[in-house]
Structure 1
């Protein structure tokens, strides 16, 4: 999915086009997910993501006008937080309790705020009887954030006092909202929201990259093992009296991890986000982003995990799996 974070001055058709284009480039679901941003020479920010999953889900592209009333539903149907949206938004959604109960999985609003849900073995608070009346189900975070806030700073401040609980999701085998969440705004700021050890933690995202588990701070620490990476080819080396010269260009990427694990994808995403060419034209920037995201394609059957290990499926319960083949349904046709 590719999104340009635009200001509220942008006409709605531009926002619609961005979201619809993203839907056509969307994968199947959230088993293996990668998000990253690139920027253009004018400071514009562009978000790309992939989703590869062994379970095909009924995605829908949905437009939400401003001024809608929402009530978050908790585990047993108990009403939780009620709120009214301020901003228009376009999102890829998934029906949950009914065909009209659409949950935002990825989207953007008219202010340029974006939201992405990625697979993660979350363990979060469940709430008490008093807190439930004010609680927001984590599965409603997307609509709540995009509908009410313009920046990640606003979301971060609001979550300081807003209780969020994890609820079972029938579509995902009753797993308790096994996701973490990535938000970006048009300034380039980003945050990651994670639920672990029965508590919520919000991290500033200095690399504007995210994949799946382990926790976000672990990924940042692991980048220290790749501090040698650069996009400049070292075109020769000497071994004894022998001068070794590569057959062609591209040796700079030899140190990138090649696996499709979340750990390896995080490192690759950080590299491409850092070194992708900055261009001036927005259309050219989207094409650049399409090329970048193609580096995270996983065709059907390239990796197959039929095990029942809790480490399979990015650490999310094996009940979510159907085929063991993680792959995107759609790939980019934006390449010139």
Structure 2
């Protein structure tokens, strides 16, 4: 589970946003991976060309679920159950990566989507379990850059494919092309009420405001969240300032955020939104909101952070807070 979207605000800031929905407690923190940092994938050392920030965890090597680098190139990974296919063995003359290592490579090497299109054939994803989970996570990826262009990376054929994303939304299985076709089922959705109609001599009227959204799916399945996010993204008022734009993105995420207890997996674990993030790829700002709190924590990439010698993790207070206006 997870929902992701991109959005360009009236202030001409471009955002990548996501919910991180999972049944296993990931315990991720915002972390900066600096320039020229050496890490290993499949026992091969790799040095980051660019520094970046995202949410991740140190498992011997860092594993990030999303992030934006110093060029404004941003990516988020989402679960792709029963669809993702990876190689069984490594290939010569390829960058062999486990699926959970792919984001580290992308953010450390890519300047923009144009370069990604040219270099995607360098990569070969292989069946390699993530230590924390003990299995190979089936993943696909949403990617954007400062131009606002958005693509999806999927390996449903065994090879990594770059797919244009004209609606700026991605959820989970089925494959992305299926989700685009499914939008054809929702042509009637609109922000305005439907007009009155007559059946014989009897006039039928909307019960009230919102009649145009009748049929907008409200569940937490991947297809329902995709349709809901696509509708809201297409129509939301993004405001006039950067802050208003970020607030608008979080309002969309509110509609696909999964509370604890309402979505139980077959093994009894609770699938819920562990954190939400909005990445401003224009200002290189990472906004992080943990489940336990309404507070948003912000970190902006700068040369001091990018030139650190080692990754820098950011702790935060996730306790729920309220401002008491009755105190003077």
TM bucket by the smaller chain? Answer: 0.7 to 0.9
Structure 1: state its 5+ residue gaps.
Answer: 1-31, 74-78, 307-320
Q: Secondary structure at the match of 1:103?
A: strand
- The separation in 2 between residues aligned to 1:248 and 1:279, in whole angstroms, is 26
CA contact (8 A) 2:120 2:160 kept: no
Query: Which residue, out of 87, 90, 94, partners 1:125?
Result: 87
Distance verdict in 2 for CA 1:302–1:287, change over 3 Å: same
Displacement, 1:332? 6.8
Q: Map residues 302-313 of structure 1 onto 2, 5 A cutoff.
A: 302-306=262-266
CA contact (8 A) 1:58 1:95 kept: no
The alignment's TM-score, normalised by the length of structure 2, stands at 0.78
The alignment's TM-score, normalised by the length of structure 1, stands at 0.76
Query: Which residue, out of 123, 126, 142, partners 1:162?
Result: 123
Query: Which residue, out of 248, 252, 259, partners 1:299?
Result: 259
Distance verdict in 2 for CA 1:199–1:129, change over 3 Å: closer
Displacement, 1:47? 2.1
Q: Secondary structure at the match of 1:328?
A: strand
CA contact (8 A) 2:76 2:143 kept: yes
Distance verdict in 2 for CA 1:166–1:188, change over 3 Å: farther
Bigger relative CO (Cα 8 Å, ≥ 6 apart): 2
Moved more, 259-268 or 234-243: 234-243
Displacement, 1:129? 6.0
More helix by share: 1
Displacement, 1:285? 0.8
In the alignment, does 2:67 pair up with 1:107?
yes
CA contact (8 A) 1:37 1:209 kept: yes
CA contact (8 A) 1:235 1:251 kept: no
CA contact (8 A) 2:3 2:170 kept: yes
- The separation in 2 between residues aligned to 1:239 and 1:334, in whole angstroms, is 51
Q: Map residues 213-228 of structure 1 onto 2, 5 A cutoff.
A: 213-228=173-188
Structure 2: state its 5+ residue gaps.
Answer: 275-290, 297-322, 324-328
1:312 is aligned to none
Query: Which residue, out of 136, 152, 165, partners 2:113?
Result: 152
CA contact (8 A) 2:63 2:100 kept: yes
1:302-330 Cα offsets, whole Å, 9 max, x none, are 23232xxxxxxxxxxxxxx5x33221241
In the alignment, does 2:52 pair up with 1:89?
yes
1:325 is aligned to 270
The number of aligned residues is 279
1:276 is aligned to 236
Displacement, 1:282? 0.5
- The separation in 2 between residues aligned to 1:297 and 1:42, in whole angstroms, is 25
Q: Secondary structure at the match of 2:172?
A: coil
Q: Map residues 123-202 of structure 1 onto 2, 5 A cutoff.
A: 123-128=85-90, 130=92, 134-174=95-135, 176-202=136-162
Query: Which residue, out of 17, 21, 42, partners 1:52?
Result: 21
In the alignment, does 2:236 pair up with 1:267?
no
* CA RMSD, 1 decimal: 2.2
Displacement, 1:283? 0.3
- The separation in 2 between residues aligned to 1:33 and 1:70, in whole angstroms, is 27
Q: Secondary structure at the match of 2:123?
A: coil
Displacement, 1:204? 1.4
- The separation in 2 between residues aligned to 1:198 and 1:161, in whole angstroms, is 14
CA contact (8 A) 2:91 2:124 kept: no
CA contact (8 A) 2:90 2:126 kept: no
- The separation in 1 between residues aligned to 2:229 and 2:292, in whole angstroms, is 17
1:103-143 Cα offsets, whole Å, 9 max, x none, are 111111122111101011322113346357x4233222111
1:241-293 Cα offsets, whole Å, 9 max, x none, are 22223232111221211221001111111111111113220001111111111
